[in-house]
Amino acid sequence: MKLGFSISAFQYEELNENSDWYLWLTDEINITSKRVIGELPGKNFYLSKFSQIHDIASRLNASFWRLNLSWGRIFKERDKISVEAVTGYRKLLKDLKDRGFKVILCLNHFDLPKWVHDPIIARDSLLTEGPLGWYSEDTINHFISFSSFVKDNFSEYVDLWCTFNEPNIMILFGYLSGIFPPGITSRRAYEKALKNVLTAHREVYNLFHGEKVGIIFNFPYIQGNEKAKEELFTTLKGISFDWIGVNYYTRIVVNEKGQPVDGYGMFCKPNSFSLDNNPCSDYGWEVYPEGLKHVLQGVKKFDKPIIVTENGIADSKDFLRPSFLISHVEAIKESKVNVEAYLYWSLIDNFEWNFGYQMKFGIYTLDLKARPSAYIFKELTSFV
C-alpha cells in the first residue's frame, strides 16, 4: 500500500473570489448568525509554493497526490478562459509527475464558479432566482464542458480521474442540513440536486471512456440501524465507476429511527471522550479506527480498486495524531481488503470551510514546520 496526501483547491490555493464559497463566507447573514466565522482562505500559498510543498511530501515517502483544479480560477466566466491559470496548473502537475507522484485529479471538490452558483441569491429567493448550482440542470452541461476542457488540457499528467469528492456530503449539507451553500433545508431540493450530480457523473464517466474514472464518497461507519447503513451504499449501486475513494473520519451511532446519538462519532464535545471512552478531536469527532475496517469490508463488495482518499484528525496539539495514523493503517491491514493507497488529510493545515483555519489537520503547520506526527507518517511505510 502506497502513501500520499489529499488536498482541494479552495482549501489550499490562494484566495479565489470567483467561487460560490467566497460569496457564502462573506455573506453578512451567515456571519452574524455564526454559520461561518467570517474568515477567508487568505493564508493559503499552494500555487506559489507548490514545488516546496511537493518536496516535503516526497521526503515523507508519499507517492500519491490527490487534488482538484479550481473551475472558477480557470473559467472566470462561462466562455472566458484564464491562460495564466491553465499555464500555472500545467507547471504544478508537471512538477508532481517529475517527482514520480501518481496523480489523482478530481473534477469537483465542493466549490463552483459564481457564474454557475450564487448561493446567496439562491437561498434568499428559495431557489427561484440566480445561478442555482446543482439544483439546476444547466449545471450538468456546464460541468460536462469543464470536464472535457480539463481532460483535453491536462490528461498527460493524470493517472486516475475522479468526478466528485463526497457528493453525498456536498448535497446533504447544501440542501438538507443547510450548513453548506446554498443553505437550503428541503428534501425535494436535496433529491433534485443529488439527481443532477449523479447525472453529471454518468455523463462524464461516458465522456472519459477509456480513462480510469472513479468517485469519492464519505463513508462513516454507521452503527445501530442496518437500513441507515445500507442507504449509504444505495446511491453508488446506480452509477458506474472504475475505482472508489473512501473518505473515513469516524463513525455514526444511530437509534432505531436512524437519528444520530450524541456522545459518539462526530457528535461529541471537542477534546473530550466519547461515551465509549474513546478520545475526541478538536472538531469533536471520536477516534474510532475500527470503523474503517468495517467500511472497507463493505466497500469491497463493489469489486473495484479501493483507495483511502481521506483520513485525518483536527488536533492542534498533535497529541492524538501519531496514534491516529498508526491505528488507522493497522485497521486497513486488519480488514484484509486490498487498498492501493492511504492518503492522509492533510499535509499542511488547511482552510476548513465554515470553520476557517481553526481546525488543524496538518502534519505540518502553515509556516511549514513539521509536527511530531510527520515523522510517524514517514515511517508508516514500515507498517504497510
pLDDT in tens, 131-140: 999 999 999 9
The parts of the chain modelled with pLDDT lower than 70 are: none
Name the amino acid, one letter, at 28.
E
pLDDT at 228: 81
Catalytic residue, from 310, 330, 352, 379: name it. 310
C-alpha cell at 289: 479506527
- Asked whether the CA dihedral 165, 169, 172, 175 is positive or negative, the reply is negative
Domain ranges of the chain: 2-256+288-382
pLDDT in tens, 152-182: 999 999 999 999 999 999 999 999 999 999 9
CB 115 within 8 Å of CB 77: yes
Query: In the block, which residue shows the cell 467500511?
Result: 295
pLDDT at 230: 86
Q: Is 231 one of the catalytic residues?
A: no
Provide the strand spans (E) within 93-194.
102-108, 160-165
> Rounded to whole angstroms, how far apart are CA atoms 139 and 299?
29
pLDDT at 341: 98
C-alpha cell at 229: 447503513
Q: Which of 183, 192, 160 is nearest to 340 (CA)?
A: 160
Q: Which of 302, 328, 338 is nearest to 249 (CA)?
A: 328
Name the amino acid, one letter, at 284.
G
CB 280 within 8 Å of CB 272: yes
Choices 3.20.20.80, 3.90.45.10, 1.10.1200.10, 3.40.50.300: CATH for 2-256+288-382 = 3.20.20.80
